Amino acid sequence: MASGPAVRLEARAVTMRLGDVLALDGVDLAFEGRVRIALLGANGAGKSVLLRTLHGLMKPTTGEVAWSGEAPPPHGQAMVFQRPVLLRRSALGNVEYALAVNGVRDGERATQAAEALARVRLSHVATRSARTLSGGEQQRLAIARAWALRPRMLFLDEPTSNLDPTAAGEIERLMGEVHEAGTALVFSTHHLGLARRAADEIVFLHRGRVAERTPADLFFRSPRSPEAASYLQGELP
């Protein structure tokens, strides 16, 4: 669905100081094209902060985040949060709101929003109040809302962490479909299975630094950094 020159996102020497804590410490990363990146790392390693910094919600203390290609921020990108904040209106209304904010004209909004809901298989609850949906449905609605903005790159912060296996599986499938349709994915997760199946590359963070960036199959077979190795050992059964 999205076409044109590949999107390129680059973080250069990004540090982020939050109070006394150095949450990001000299991060250099570049993502180009329709990548699928999983951010892994222990709690507090800086995954969420990195996502927010790349997305533009947080300004780096030093260093910079730069976009090039045909999808400049903010609207060529979107983000799905761990706990999405849905507005107190219908499911359809939530998507329409995002479209309205991003300048989609009145006449086209309803159609586009309905299509977005259909893509995440939520048409049957379109008129239901968003806040009364189940956790899995809420997360799917959040994806529909982000997807409706036709982002070139989609950030997801632990998208399956609060969901039961069925709902998590549904989110994983949707992530695949979003990617199929032409959007790059950058997501953080603790579900190693999700990372293995849904990512081409793993970026492993340790104490605010990028410990390694490795193709997914290789990462899970033989991580290069000792931090990742011990993380995998601790996490895997």
Q: Name the residues that contact another protein, by CB under 8 A.
A: 52, 55, 57, 74-75, 78-79, 81, 84-85, 87-89, 97-98, 100-103, 106, 129-132, 145, 149
Select 13 or 57, whichever has its Cβ closest to another protein.
57
Residue 142 C-beta: closest distance to another protein, Å:
9
Residue 188 C-beta: closest distance to another protein, Å:
15
Residue 237 C-beta: closest distance to another protein, Å:
34
Select 50 or 98, whichever has its Cβ closest to another protein.
98
Residue 19 C-beta: closest distance to another protein, Å:
17
Other Cβ atoms less than 10 A from the Cβ of 164: the count is 12
**Integer Cα distance of 88 and 98 in angstroms:** 13
**Integer Cα distance of 140 and 200 in angstroms:** 22
Other Cβ atoms less than 10 A from the Cβ of 146: the count is 24
Residue 101 C-beta: closest distance to another protein, Å:
5
Select 41 or 84, whichever has its Cβ closest to another protein.
84
Select 109 or 206, whichever has its Cβ closest to another protein.
109
Select 130 or 198, whichever has its Cβ closest to another protein.
130
